[in-house]
Amino acid sequence: MSKSDTKHNSGVQTVGSWLREVLIVVIGALIASTLLRVFVIQMFVIPSGSMENTLIVTDRIAVQKVASFQRGDAIVFRDTLNWLNPPPPDTDPLHEVLVFIGLAPDESTNYLVKRLIGLPGDHVACCDAQNRVTVNGVPLDEQSYLYVDPGSGKMDDPSTKVFDVVVPADHLFVMGDHRSGSQDSRCHLGQPLPGDSEGSLAFIPQSSVVGTVIAVVYPFSRFKGMPRPPTFDQVPPPGPAPAEPVIVGERPIC
């Protein structure tokens, strides 16, 4: 074999090795992205105004799946109770793949985002003499996140619906920050799941929770973290969680 042939073959092997290394890096990155999306962080797009002005329509949010959720967190959960209309099927296979591997935000409509107000065993009620929501007898100061109308400057009431509940075991009580525009736990207190107790449709199964919102990441003009409001630090621990919802008095309908 001539020297020129040796150099040529060496060059082919070098290019082939480089292509293999690139392929290994790309596959490794895709696997890492998929694992990150499945177990650590997932991206979502806000589809409605129920969490305004904290989160607005088309915000891209990062949701962490590692740390446990607490009162005051904005949580994303699957619509296992069918609060929403059935979502249309996703007809874009490429987009589904990109969502699965974590390279595109999940824009499907079978997820909701609300603020976690009550844990299992919490006594959640509205309203006290100052028109505030209370949790285990402690009133919440919600001014830092309740919706404010941009035209009038008027802040939403904590709730125009009167309710008094104890959250059942393994379930959560949630409300949107845009209280006058949110179909949340308050709106389903008079509705049972088939064959279940009254109000069972109002409380989100803990198993449905995807994770907590940690940041708005896009658009860049709205980039911000999502700290837990300090008012929830004053709430005492919950009592024993009943097996079924405890609902006193009115059953609001939104």
- pLDDT exceeds 70 at position 47: yes
Q: CB of 57 within 8 A of CB of 49?
A: yes
pLDDT tens digits for range 189-245: 988 777 777 788 999 999 999 999 999 999 999 999 999 999 999 999 999 999 999
Q: CB of 64 within 8 A of CB of 212?
A: yes
Q: CB of 189 within 8 A of CB of 163?
A: yes
Per-residue confidence (pLDDT) for residue 102, from 0 to 100 = 46
Per-residue confidence (pLDDT) for residue 133, from 0 to 100 = 98
Give 248's pLDDT tier (boundaries 50, 70, 90).
very high
| Residue 19 CB contacts under 8 Å (≥ 6 apart), including other chains | none
Per-residue confidence (pLDDT) for residue 31, from 0 to 100 = 53
Phi-psi map region of 199: left, alpha, beta (phi>0 left; psi -120 to 50 alpha): left
CA distances from 227 to 73, 145, 209 (A): 8, 11, 18
Per-residue confidence (pLDDT) for residue 55, from 0 to 100 = 97
pLDDT tens digits for range 133-176: 999 999 999 999 999 999 999 999 999 999 999 999 999 999 99
- Percentage of the chain modeled with pLDDT above 70: 75
Q: Which amino acid is at 29?
A: A
H-helix or E-strand containing 117? strand 111-118
Q: Which CATH superfamily is domain 69-91+105-213+229-247 in?
A: Umud Fragment, subunit A (2.10.109.10)
- pLDDT exceeds 70 at position 128: yes
State mean pLDDT over 52-75.
Answer: 95
- pLDDT exceeds 60 at position 87: no
Between 72 and 13, name the one with better pLDDT: 72
pLDDT tens digits for range 102-116: 445 455 558 999 999
Give the pair of three-digit tokens for residue 24. 């290994």
